[in-house]
């Protein structure tokens, strides 16, 4: 009887391993839908050619902070491609699903592409919005998502704050007054960047949308270049959306190898081309040069230089009771 | 607003000029001074007598009208701009409110999706996390029975009510793949723990269970206590172990068309183990069972409910305590009276195996369940080691008079009991025959006393079950058992009931199960 039991068990295990399909779940933030739709198809083709295996990659999108919380709560992502390092740090610290040094596991601090924050205004720029000073004027309606839930919104907040600091000789009180005026002009806070794009472009609310650069270009494509135009401010922030393998989940799913390859392929020429085509600034210099026309020159500050890194910025501005909670009154 | 004021200003200026000029003219006429000057100043027609003045007044009137027209034109130019701005502003406000409402609705949906869920219904109480990775369920079974024995020589203490089972069942899931079950029983005379186990579900085909649970051998025994046809299981179940402790590998194959279970357990004597929470011998017991329902997922309705399989166990009995004999505490009748026990000083000593082919069939309101159990156990009285071969079988049938589908599991009435609406729940008639034969060597080898025991019993039973709803059930049944091999004298009244005489017992039960 014991022997029969072992034989049955072995047969079941072998059968289950052979029958397993390769599936990956990429939990990402709001504006990357189009990027990863194109990239997943390219990677599946690459993987099929390399190994002969079929891979199906599912995508999940939402506000970066909300997505991170979902993974912490049990959404079994094999990889996360979120808007900011803090959100992946939260997964590592709270759920211990990946090692604390995840940021150093891939080149460029695990950021295969970058982006920044720009303005999307209505065609003809009827309110004459050229720089950050213009959007804090009385009567200007600004659309931006909630920095409590959206990574893009946090980048936008910090870009505006950095501009105010630069303009006021790093006088924090003046910068705080500036950001307060800005958020007084915000009539509605969406939970994610895509929601804000819909609010501005589809629902016709507001005079200016603070958007990811790629999201602004996407809005032109989707809602019509004859309806909107992009304004690049004099200063913005270097947004670095990182990627990481959720190693515990990948191990449980037996997808560690392919999950790593999936992210590494983002650094390949093809991966970089796809990123650039979707208006993400590629790390690869040759590809960046090729697509230079897509990206307006802008002075970019980094979060490390201006705010001392994500942990400090999060605690100061976006944690419960932080500056944002103090200055924003819905 | 500005244009209105402008219009009023123009009119006031012109009219004021008229009054001023008229006043100056009147003053000049009265004083006789500056006649030329007076003539140059136009005045109201009523005050002026000359045609020139009238013409001038007319010119002024035209001038006023022209100015009014200009003011009106200005008003018309300004009015739409203000209205447009107002409309645009209102439009923005409406859009913002609409969008805010959408965002609030999305947030409410998202919050609901992440909120824990609480459900309460016929299947008990359940509390689960939004992603169902964590679930806690509370179920329960309460069975209040009565037993009334007939022609029992007035034996005392056997008729009456009893709380057969009173089990709160705490079960659930942690981290999606790990199930647990903890079931104490407050029924009977002592508190017991029939079930306390955890199950890891890697896949439906591969699950590992550890703890204390039913030994997977007998078909009737594996049927839930709440779903068995009669108050008590049949004689066939006397030959299989009850609960046992150990590790079990189990699973469903081919979408449930087949199932298997294989485990390493402590080993338990026949229909024993409910009260056991430790081990009593060094050597483990290997148990296994396969069961097939090949047409379960087919379109052949008549065969969908057919299942068959075999269960069995093998162990080396080597009880290592004086109190544990490794033998059954006694084979019992439907009325739970012992009709066979081994002599004192007899103990299990060697191989012990069981084989139980089994089948059931359910089609519409009709149900049939049967099994055969064959066992071999080496038993010693200290002088002689004897292999005792016992066997038992049973077959039971059921018919739901109210047309519901019969099932190995719970019966769900078409209409719950509600006399106000003319609904009476589900009614089921059941019948069963069972037989148990103990190896006659037990008497010839001095392992048991034929003057106090029978080496065989046959029992038939009929009953009527009433399912008021999915949770409430009432049973009424009668069982008659006869015995073989008893050689003792008929005892005096009030001393021994079986096996000196047949057993006739009427059962009732009211059951709450959720």
Going by their DSSP bridges, the two strands B178-185 and A228-231 should be labelled as unpaired
Would residue B320 count as lying in a domain? yes
The whole-angstrom distance between B255's CA and the closest CA on chain A is: 14
Asked whether the beta carbons of residue A16 and residue B206 sit closer than 8 angstroms, the reply is yes
Report the alpha-carbon distance of residue B281 to residue B269 in Å, rounded: 11
Task: Based on the fold, state whether residues B356 and B411 are members of the same structural domain.
Answer: yes
Report the alpha-carbon distance of residue B340 to residue B355 in Å, rounded: 21
Task: Based on the fold, state whether residues B109 and B143 are members of the same structural domain.
Answer: no
Would you say residue A115 has pLDDT above 60? yes
Would residue B265 count as lying in a domain? yes
CB A141 within 8 A of CB A205: yes
Closest CA to A151 of A71, A73, A82: A82
Report the alpha-carbon distance of residue A317 to residue A320 in Å, rounded: 9
- Token look-up 């009929």 returns B462
Asked whether the beta carbons of residue B103 and residue A190 sit closer than 8 angstroms, the reply is yes
Give SS3 for B336. coil
Report the alpha-carbon distance of residue A108 to residue A272 in Å, rounded: 13
Would you say residue B22 has pLDDT above 60? no
CB A248 within 8 A of CB A175: no
Q: Which of B95, B99, B131 sits opposite A74 (nearest CB)?
A: B131
Contacts of B205 in chain A (CB under 8 A): 12, 15-16
Report the domain count for chain B. 2
Closest CA to A273 of A286, A263, A287: A287
Provide the pLDDT for residue B151. Answer: 75
Which domain, by its residues, includes B445?
139-272+285-513
CB B117 within 8 A of CB B128: yes
B353: nearest CA partner in chain A: A1
Closest CA to A242 of A112, A150, A154: A112
Provide the pLDDT for residue B496. Answer: 60
Would residue B354 count as lying in a domain? yes
Provide the pLDDT for residue B140. Answer: 96
Q: How confident is the model at residue A17 (pLDDT cuts 50, 70, 90)?
A: very low
Task: Based on the fold, state whether residues B98 and B154 are members of the same structural domain.
Answer: no
Asked whether the beta carbons of residue B260 and residue A8 sit closer than 8 angstroms, the reply is yes
CB B255 within 8 A of CB B297: yes
Phi, psi at residue B31, to the nearest 5°?
-90, -20
Report the alpha-carbon distance of residue A157 to residue B252 in Å, rounded: 55
Would you say residue A225 has pLDDT above 90? no
Task: Based on the fold, state whether residues B156 and B266 are members of the same structural domain.
Answer: yes
CB B170 within 8 A of CB B182: yes
CA dihedral B165, B167, B173, B178 (to 10 degrees): -60
Closest CA to A279 of A244, A232, A243: A232
Task: Based on the fold, state whether residues B428 and B496 are members of the same structural domain.
Answer: yes
Report the alpha-carbon distance of residue A184 to residue A139 in Å, rounded: 10
CB A24 within 8 A of CB A56: yes
CB B187 within 8 A of CB B165: yes
Strand partners, B183: B195
The pLDDT tens digits of the residues spanning B263-310 come to 999 988 888 766 776 776 778 899 999 999 999 988 899 999 999 999
Q: Which of A1, A75, A205 sits opposite B262 (nearest CB)?
A: A1
Asked whether the beta carbons of residue A4 and residue B262 sit closer than 8 angstroms, the reply is yes
Contacts of A15 in chain B (CB under 8 A): 205
Would residue B293 count as lying in a domain? yes
SS3 per residue for B444-461: HCCCCCCCCCCCEEEEEE
Q: Can you tell me the mean pLDDT for A8-32?
A: 68
Q: Which of A4, A15, A191 sits opposite B107 (nearest CB)?
A: A191
The residue with greater pLDDT, B66 or A153, is: A153
Would residue B132 count as lying in a domain? no
Q: Can you tell me the mean pLDDT for A145-165?
A: 93
All domains of chain A in start order, with CATH: 20-113+241-293 (3.40.190.10), 117-238+298-327 (3.40.190.10)
The pLDDT tens digits of the residues spanning B113-167 come to 778 889 998 888 999 988 788 999 999 999 999 999 887 766 655 788 999 999 9
* Interface residues of chain B, partner chain A, Cβ below 8 Å: 92, 95-96, 98-100, 103, 106-107, 110, 114, 129, 131, 133, 176, 203, 205-206, 249, 251, 253, 260, 262-264, 286-288, 312-314
Q: Can you tell me the mean pLDDT for B484-491?
A: 85
Supply the CATH number for residue B393's domain. Answer: 2.40.160.10
Task: Based on the fold, state whether residues B164 and B47 are members of the same structural domain.
Answer: no
Helix then strand then coil, % of chain A, to nearest 5: 55, 15, 30
Q: Which two tokens stand for residue B4?
A: 């209105």
Report the alpha-carbon distance of residue B327 to residue B342 in Å, rounded: 8
Would residue B362 count as lying in a domain? yes
End-to-end CA distance of chain B: 76
pLDDT, chain B, mean:
86
Q: How large is the ipTM? A: 0.70
Beta strands in B151-205 (DSSP E): 160-174, 178-185, 192-203
Q: How confident is the model at residue B320 (pLDDT cuts 50, 70, 90)?
A: low
The pLDDT tens digits of the residues spanning B252-274 come to 999 899 999 999 999 888 887 66
Preceding peptide of A85 cis, ω within 30°: no
A5: nearest CA partner in chain B: B262
Task: Based on the fold, state whether residues B331 and B438 are members of the same structural domain.
Answer: yes
The pLDDT tens digits of the residues spanning A241-269 come to 999 999 999 999 999 999 999 999 999 99
Task: Based on the fold, state whether residues B210 and B89 are members of the same structural domain.
Answer: no
Task: Based on the fold, state whether residues B347 and B454 are members of the same structural domain.
Answer: yes
The residue with greater pLDDT, B470 or B154, is: B470
> What is the number of other CB atoms lying within 10 angstroms of the CB of residue B90?
10
Task: Based on the fold, state whether residues B67 and B177 are members of the same structural domain.
Answer: no
A199: nearest CA partner in chain B: B99
Task: Based on the fold, state whether residues B306 and B171 are members of the same structural domain.
Answer: yes
Contacts of A187 in chain B (CB under 8 A): 92, 96
A186: nearest CA partner in chain B: B96
Would residue B469 count as lying in a domain? yes
Asked whether the beta carbons of residue A4 and residue B107 sit closer than 8 angstroms, the reply is no
Percent of chain B with pLDDT over 70: 84
Task: Based on the fold, state whether residues B378 and B266 are members of the same structural domain.
Answer: yes
Provide the pLDDT for residue B71. Answer: 77
Would residue B437 count as lying in a domain? yes
Distances in whole angstroms, Cα of residue B292 to Cα of each of A154, B287, B349:
59, 17, 34
């Amino acid at each position: 009887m014991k022997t029969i039991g072992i034989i049955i068990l072995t047969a079941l295990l072998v059968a289950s391993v052979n029958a397993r399909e390769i599936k990956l779940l990429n939990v990402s933030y709001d504006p990357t839908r189009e990027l990863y739709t194109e990239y997943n198809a390219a990677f599946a083709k690459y993987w099929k050619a390399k190994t002969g295996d079929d891979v199906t990659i599912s995508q999940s999108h939402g506000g970066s902070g909300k997505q991170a919380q979902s993974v912490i709560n049990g959404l079994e992502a094999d990889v996360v491609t979120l808007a900011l390092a803090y959100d992946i740090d939260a997964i590592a610290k709270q759920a211990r699903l990946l090692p604390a040094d995840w940021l150093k596991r891939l080149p460029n601090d695990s950021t295969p592409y970058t982006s920044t924050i720009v303005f999307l205004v209505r065609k003809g720029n009827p309110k004459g919005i050229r720089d950050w000073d213009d959007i804090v004027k009385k009567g200007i309606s600004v659309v931006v998502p909630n920095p409590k839930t959206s990574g893009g919104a946090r980048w936008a907040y910090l870009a505006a704050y950095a501009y105010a600091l630069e303009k006021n000789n790093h006088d924090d009180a003046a910068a705080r007054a500036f950001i307060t005026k800005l958020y007084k002009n915000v009539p509605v806070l969406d939970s994610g960047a895509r929601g804000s794009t819909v609010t501005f472009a589809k629902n016709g609310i507001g005079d200016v949308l603070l958007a990811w650069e790629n999201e602004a270009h996407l809005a032109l494509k989707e809602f019509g270049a004859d309806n909107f135009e992009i304004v690049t401010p004099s200063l913005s922030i270097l947004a670095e959306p990182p990627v990481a393998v959720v190693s515990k989940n990948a191990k449980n799913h037996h997808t560690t190898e392919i999950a790593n390859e999936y992210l590494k392929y983002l650094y390949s020429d093809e991966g970089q081309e796809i990123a650039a085509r979707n208006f993400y600034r590629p790390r690869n210099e040759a590809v960046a040069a090729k697509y230079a026309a897509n990206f307006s020159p802008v002075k970019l500050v980094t979060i490390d230089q201006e705010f001392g890194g994500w942990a400090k910025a999060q605690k100061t501005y976006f944690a419960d009771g932080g500056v944002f909670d103090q200055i924003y009154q819905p | 607003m500005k244009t209105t004021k402008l219009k009023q200003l123009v009119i006031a200026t012109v009219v004021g000029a008229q009054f001023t000029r008229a006043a100056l003219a009147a003053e000049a006429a009265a004083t006789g001074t500056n006649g030329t000057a007076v003539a140059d100043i136009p005045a109201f027609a009523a005050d002026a007598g000359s045609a020139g003045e009238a013409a001038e007044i007319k010119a002024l009137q035209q001038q006023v009208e022209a100015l009014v027209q200009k003011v009106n034109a200005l008003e018309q130019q300004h009015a739409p701009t203000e209205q447009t701005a107002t409309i645009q502003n209102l439009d923005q406000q409406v859009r913002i409110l609409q969008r805010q409402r959408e965002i609030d609705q999305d947030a409410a949906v998202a919050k609901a999706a992440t909120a824990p869920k609480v459900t309460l219904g016929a299947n008990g109480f359940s509390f689960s996390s939004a992603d169902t990775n964590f679930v806690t369920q509370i179920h329960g079974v309460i069975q209040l029975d009565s037993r009334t024995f007939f022609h029992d020589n007035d034996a005392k203490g056997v008729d009456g009510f009893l709380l057969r089972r009173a089990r709160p069942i705490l079960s659930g899931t942690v981290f999606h793949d790990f199930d647990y079950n903890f079931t104490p029983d407050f029924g009977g005379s002592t508190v017991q723990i029939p079930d306390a186990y955890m199950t890891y579900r890697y896949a439906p085909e591969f699950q590992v269970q550890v703890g204390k649970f039913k030994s997977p051998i007998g078909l009737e025994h594996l049927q839930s206590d709440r779903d068995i046809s009669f108050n008590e299981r049949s004689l066939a179940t006397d030959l299989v172990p009850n609960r046992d402790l150990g590790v079990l590998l189990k699973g469903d194959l081919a979408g449930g068309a087949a199932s298997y279970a294989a485990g390493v357990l402590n080993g338990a004597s026949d229909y024993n183990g409910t009260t056991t929470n430790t081990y009593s011998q060094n050597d483990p017991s290997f148990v296994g069972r396969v069961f097939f329902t090949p047409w379960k997922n087919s379109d052949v309705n008549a065969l969908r409910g057919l299942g068959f399989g075999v269960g069995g166990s093998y162990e080396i009995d080597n009880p290592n305590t004086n109190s544990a004999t490794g033998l059954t505490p006694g084979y019992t009748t439907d009325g739970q009276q012992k009709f066979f026990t081994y002599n004192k000083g007899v103990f299990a000593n060697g191989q012990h195996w069981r084989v139980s082919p089994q089948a059931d069939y359910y089609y519409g309101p009709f149900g049939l369940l049967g099994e055969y159990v064959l066992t071999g156990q080496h038993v010693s009285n200290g002088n002689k080691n004897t292999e005792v071969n016992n066997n038992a079988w049973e077959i039971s049938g059921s018919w739901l008079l109210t047309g519901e589908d019969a099932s190995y599991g719970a019966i769900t009435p078409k209409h719950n009991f509600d006399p106000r609406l003319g609904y009476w729940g589900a009614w089921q008639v059941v019948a069963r025959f069972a037989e148990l034969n103990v190896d006659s060597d037990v008497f010839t080898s001095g392992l048991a006393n034929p003057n106090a025991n029978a080496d065989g019993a046959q029992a038939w039973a009929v009953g009527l079950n009433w399912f008021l709803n999915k949770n409430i059930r009432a049973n009424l049944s009668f069982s008659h058992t006869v015995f073989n091999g008893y050689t003792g004298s008929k005892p005096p009244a009030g001393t021994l009931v079986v096996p000196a005489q047949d057993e006739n017992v009427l059962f009732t039960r009211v059951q709450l199960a959720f």
